[in-house]
Amino acid sequence: MMNSDESIQIFVPLKVRKQNGRPKIMPPATYLPSEDRTQDPHILRAIGRAWGWRRRMEAGEFNTVTDLAKAVGLAERHVSRQLRLAYLAPGVLKRLVYKREVPAVTLLKLTDVAALPWHEQPERMFD
């Protein structure tokens, strides 16, 4: 884990656009879907939503996950679990977005892996 004085920035070139008044996360232009089409199409959207929630909490818009869950109209357990996706290791994010090595990644597995320290995440996710 990081010390409080350390920070890491990751830049994943996702585009956000509005559709029906709601933000929609779009993959990079170089994104190629997996050949077998078994990758869950909601993975990038869930990660983007988690990052948005994290930013809103860090900005002080919400003090607790309970407050956030009420504001977005979802169960607290669901929001709490999906919020973990904003803490995936940079290497895991890069492999998910660009390499598409894993034929099928589930949100459940991602949220479980996101609870681990960064150095353990790639091994548990891709091995």
CA 47 – CA 66 distance, rounded (Å): 19
Q: Indicate the SS3 state at residue 125.
A: helix
pLDDT at 37: 45
pLDDT at 99: 62
Whether residue 8 contacts residue 90, with contact meaning beta carbons closer than 8 Å, is answered with yes
- Calculate the CA 103 to chain-centre distance: 18
Q: What is the mean pLDDT of residues 99-123?
A: 80
Only one residue has tokens 């609870």, namely 115
| Domain layout of the chain by residue ranges | 41-126
pLDDT tens figures, 33-64: 555 444 455 787 888 899 999 999 999 999 99
Percent of the chain exceeding pLDDT 70 equals: 62
The partner residues of 26 in beta bridges, in order of sequence, read: 15
CB atoms within 10 A of CB 118: 16
Q: How many helices (H) and strands (E) does the chain have?
A: 6, 2
pTM over 0.85: no
